[in-house]
Structure 1
């Protein structure tokens, strides 16, 4: 699977977050809607440890590099800052060298991993049922690096040392999560959710450079690949997608409802991506109130129109149809529960139609 044999043929899955606070209820929605590619439910309404920013910082918090997930800041002004960094890098090296206990510390905290633990317990008890692949997710380095600061509110992403620790943390978390899900005997798709990539090329983020962004992303992707996983990136905004096409990423998940034009203008690079075995994951189900105005059939018509236009621009239709997935345009964690359920209903219906 990780070597380009994965041909999803419009397999449907979720982005990750849901607005429920009960893991069992969230999982019931997921299994009902995307039974062939279920994902564990991110539950951001449970609090900071389950949030987009705080959920993947366990190792940084345990080693004292970051003090608190409620208001995460790198403790660069602490008198023992060098000692804290030493503890972190020692733990990192132990995990890289194969110490499972060290690697486990890059997993979730007990609260932050509630949705993940519910998913794993469910798989242990009921098996994988209709699933052909399992999906996990984590937040990406650009978005986290922009939001996690030092005590002077400077974004950690722009500090080489802080960014290095953040990237290493995410790489080992991605490896740990992929390893945990792989024990259930199915291929594992691990998605890196990083909307901050939209800033590349924008005048407001001129310090974001192409090669460093690709190198840092590849570090995290390599953690997934080491465990035999399939690595992808989700960005719920328009961006220069060639940044991802030119990385080791195998699945690109984009908002095809609002930002289709950003992909249309890159038909030739997209075709090269597909030719090397890449997967295009269509975020075609809107995660806004407009979802109430759509039906699975109307979304199918929109999808087919977009495919037709890409084919006109030179994309190989056979590759595109074999190597496509379906998702909502973004996570549903901030939505009212009724709207989130509508999004998953539309996704399930669309998956059946396509």
Structure 2
């Protein structure tokens, strides 16, 4: 499906000019993606950005707060009356100027693959709290409604992007996976984690999309790979050893056609000190170490090269350096 060492990004960029962010993306990566711009507006952070249409969600941009009112029965009833399995829920321009600018930049063009993204149901429901400060995950009804909203966001963006590409990939951004199992989340069961992720994966596949998941920390990758996901994206710069632990299930994942998105370019301030040749050496050592465990199933055609995480917390020049480095790394690998 992909060529050797194909590249893409995670989502967030630090730019306040959507056009500039889109131009970098279109110039530097093989699979372009629409940029999330948290520096432009609080609404573009990963939880607010997908909150439109969620019953009883309230947002105070000036105070940078978002919460859910608990006494929202009438809004819930209205939601249920209009929602179907085909419902699309818009991400308006106020919540994603990067998306709309991206559409303008690619209008009239056709790409082999484009990438979109959605905040994962666990990060969304554990990060969004009600007016008593309790994550909505622990309200069974709101957890299910939030899942329905996220599915609607997936359908909406896929139906806007599909005319510009042959295949469409949607990344499920789940940074909170790295915290599951800690004391703060003891009430989160493995079965429910797998169900929520599996339903988002299914919603992407129902739209003929490629499903991917991103976590920039430690995670239970065995559980993730058993959700039916097509692509797993991990932070190889800092967490390769954690990922390598799962080589047994990874072998099965690759055997059934899965892909690894290798987050090798760092997105912290260390990017100022990284050079492409040392990064190439680091990647090749990792590739060889993992190949020893999974055999010939791991090939350059089964890989996607990415930054370790989103670049939204960096300065603009640092983010541009991340994508310059990613671009050059691919060239170095292809040229030996």
TM over 0.5: yes
Check conservation: 2:25, 2:33, Cα contact below 8 A.
yes
Q: Is 1:14 matched with 2:9?
A: yes
| Counterpart residue number, 1:232 | 212
The answer on whether the counterparts of 2:122 and 2:196 sit within 8 Å (CA) in structure 1 is no
Does 2:40 correspond to 1:46? yes
Partner Cα distance (1:230, 1:48) in 2: 29
Q: Provide, for residues 249-277 of structure 1, a one-character-per-residue CA deviation record: whole Å limited to 9, x for no partner.
A: 11110000000011111111111111111
CA distance in 2, matches of 1:283, 1:48: 26
Q: Which runs of 5+ in 2 are unaligned?
A: none
Conserved? CA contact 2:262–2:303, under 8 Å: yes
Q: Does structure 2 conserve the Cα–Cα contact (< 8 Å) formed by 1:175 and 1:224? A: yes
1:187 and 2:167 equivalent? Answer: yes
Please tell me whether residue 109 in structure 1 is matched to residue 92 in structure 2. Answer: yes
TM-score where L is the length of structure 2: 0.94
Q: What secondary structure does 1:135 align onto? A: strand
The reply to whether residue 37 of structure 1 matches residue 31 of structure 2 is yes
Query: Does the 8 Å contact 2:255/2:297 carry over to 1?
Result: no
TM-score (norm 1): 0.89
Q: Which residue pairs with 1:25 in the alignment?
A: 20
Q: Structure 1 CA distance, aligned partners of 2:70 and 2:8?
A: 40
In structure 2, what is the equivalent of residue 3 of structure 1?
Answer: none
Match of 2:79 among 64, 76, 88: 88
CA distance in 2, matches of 1:92, 1:212: 23
Pairing partner for 1:147 from 127, 134, 137: 127
Aligned to 2:196: 216
Aligned residues: 330
1:47-92 CA distance string (max 9 Å, x none): 12211111111111xxx42122642222113xxx221111112222
In the TM superposition, residue 326 of structure 1 has moved relative to its aligned partner by: 0.6
SS of the aligned residue for 1:41 comes to coil
| Alignment RMSD (CA, Å) | 1.5
Asked whether the 8 Å contact 1:138–1:174 carries over to 2, the reply is yes
Q: How does 1:246-325 map onto structure 2 within 5 Å?
A: 246-313=226-293, 315-325=294-304
